[in-house]
Structure 1
Amino acid sequence: MEPWFADAKPIDSLEPEIAFHLCDEFHPAPYQRPEPLALPGFQRAERLRACTSEAIGHEAELAAYYGQVAALARQHALKLHQVRQYFWMDLRLDNEDANVHLSFPWYDTFSSMDHFLVAVAGHDEGNIYNDQDQGWAVEVWARNGTLYIRESNPDSDDEPGQAVALPRTGLQARIAPLRERTAKLVAYLAKELGPEAWPGSEMQPAGALDLR
């Protein structure tokens, strides 16, 4: 049992969600005039963020948005690694009532997020997940049906971070449909635009954009 378990905030649940980052301008190069991008028309809580729960059923609109990015990248002879930021995604775990918001700032593809989701959705006990990068760390423990999750900044002693304790089954039940709809959206985008921008299939970071 880790010492921080005692200080973990008990909550009923967390709502996991994955979103696509949107941009309303395409910047081909520094000091060049940006070109407008038409955003998808489906309803969203945030203008520049399309959650999977909002995008499902609107796959064609999402593909049309990314098609603009692909066309502009080809027009300016840019490679995938030069426009990677236009394909970023994010994972969040929220409980609005408890004012708990866990983020994964270094995960920007579904394939990187899915390692965490699979670990939580499984049945292993003990320390089931650990990761850290610059200014951020997350660790997850499973013990007797309870999940203990802590997000912190390993580079700072002044930031205590946040730790929560919650029933494992509730989060597991939410992860299954999230993974299903995200996989469906990413598969559609990979089919329409090519797999290079959507890790989970093969990706060639330094190759030419081959988005159809």
Structure 2
Amino acid sequence: MALASATGKPCHNPPIVKKICLSVGDRSEERTVESWFADAKPIDSLEPEIAFRLWDQFHPAPEHQPEPLDLPEFPRASRLLARTSEVTAHEAELAAYYGRVAALARQHALKIHQVRQYFWMDLRLDNEEADVHLSFPWYDTVSSMDHFLAAVAGNDQGMLHDDQDQGWAVEAWAFDGTLYIRQSNPDSDDEPGQSVVLPRADLQARIAPLRERTAKLMAYLAKELGPDVWLGGEVQSAGPFDQR
């Protein structure tokens, strides 16, 4: 398959080699791209999902014993994770769970920044059949996750996303409808990480309903609870953490 140039003209190098063709004015030139493209695992698709991290205990302070925290009862694959697809039609039950978190925080006179971990979320890209599991451990709010999702969902070519934090890095590239994603550990030469290549349109088609579903859930929770903690925003004065 040929790569698209910056002007939309096809280049004749295959997408997994180390060179791509770019048209600059009336000239064509080759530029080196990432060497890991050649080792990327070809897959048909990835399933993107965002999940709420749940806790079955509330830890008010190091000197206090943890207190039990009742979990939502709706069906889900993982006891301490609630995927957006699982929460649909159970929004009130999830809101009630977070209401219990807020009540315990008020009881111990805790501010939102002291209990923010109870509102963390997870973003994952999985293909069970191909045994591919890409995680984003440093993205714990919708706003941080959406930078990646929006980049893949758009139409830009070349490097779409590049980020790293302690022991983790992710990068995504796109050329002519083909998407390359790599997760690695920049602090270790002994961990090869995971790299995949797949059709961009398929992942885009899955990202669109995920973003829509997540936005609706965030709006519901914000309406019920006040502070928009999942989006990384600031606490509203009349929210459930208000100590008045």
Moved more, 11-20 or 153-162: 153-162
Verify: 1:203 aligned to 2:225, yes or no.
no
Deviation at 1:90, TM superposition (A): 0.3
Q: Which 5+ residue runs of structure 2 have no aligned equivalent?
A: 1-32
| Distance of aligned partners of 1:159 and 1:75 in 2 relative to their CA distance in 1, 3 Å threshold | same
- Counterpart in the other structure of 1:49: 81
| Distance of aligned partners of 1:195 and 1:72 in 2 relative to their CA distance in 1, 3 Å threshold | same
AA aligned to 2:81 is: R
- Counterpart in the other structure of 1:163: 195
- Counterpart in the other structure of 1:70: 102
Question: Equivalent residue of 1:112, what SS?
Answer: helix
Contact 1:28/1:34 (CA < 8 Å) preserved in 2?
Answer: yes
Higher helix proportion, which one? 1
Deviation at 1:208, TM superposition (A): 7.9
- Counterpart in the other structure of 1:134: 166
- Counterpart in the other structure of 1:102: 134
Question: What is the rounded CA distance, in whole Å, between the counterparts of 2:40 and 2:97 in structure 1?
Answer: 41
AA aligned to 1:210 is: G
Question: Equivalent residue of 2:79, what SS?
Answer: coil
- Counterpart in the other structure of 1:86: 118
Deviation at 1:2, TM superposition (A): 1.7
- Counterpart in the other structure of 1:4: 36
RMSD between aligned alpha carbons? 1.5
Question: What is the rounded CA distance, in whole Å, between the counterparts of 2:142 and 2:234 in structure 1?
Answer: 13
Question: What is the rounded CA distance, in whole Å, between the counterparts of 1:210 and 1:73 in structure 2?
Answer: 12
Identity of aligned residues (%): 76
- CA offsets, 1:85-142, max 9 Å, x none? 1001000000001000000000001111000000000000000111111111000000
Question: What is the rounded CA distance, in whole Å, between the counterparts of 1:52 and 1:199 in structure 2?
Answer: 15
Instruction: Name the count of aligned residue pairs.
Output: 209
Question: What is the rounded CA distance, in whole Å, between the counterparts of 1:65 and 1:97 in structure 2?
Answer: 33
- Deviating beyond 4 angstroms after TM superposition, the runs of 4 or more aligned structure 1 residues are none
Question: What is the rounded CA distance, in whole Å, between the counterparts of 1:196 and 1:82 in structure 2?
Answer: 15
Question: Equivalent residue of 1:195, what SS?
Answer: coil
- CA offsets, 1:19-62, max 9 Å, x none? 00001111111131211111111100011100000001111000
AA aligned to 1:211 is: P
Higher RCO (C-alpha under 8 Å, 6+ residues apart): 1
Question: What is the rounded CA distance, in whole Å, between the counterparts of 1:29 and 1:104 in structure 2?
Answer: 28
- Counterpart in the other structure of 2:60: 28
AA aligned to 1:71 is: A
AA aligned to 1:46 is: S
Q: Which 5+ residue runs of structure 1 have no aligned equivalent?
A: none
Q: Which has the larger radius of gyration?
A: 2
| TM-score (normalised: structure 1) | 0.95
Question: What is the rounded CA distance, in whole Å, between the counterparts of 1:211 and 1:55 in structure 2?
Answer: 21
| TM-score (normalised: structure 2) | 0.83
- CA offsets, 1:144-195, max 9 Å, x none? 1100000001111111111000000000000000001111111111111112
Moved more, 141-150 or 188-197: 188-197
Question: What is the rounded CA distance, in whole Å, between the counterparts of 1:163 and 1:187 in structure 2?
Answer: 34
Moved more, 31-40 or 162-171: 31-40
Q: 2:223 aligns with which of 183, 191, 201?
A: 191
Deviation at 1:198, TM superposition (A): 2.4
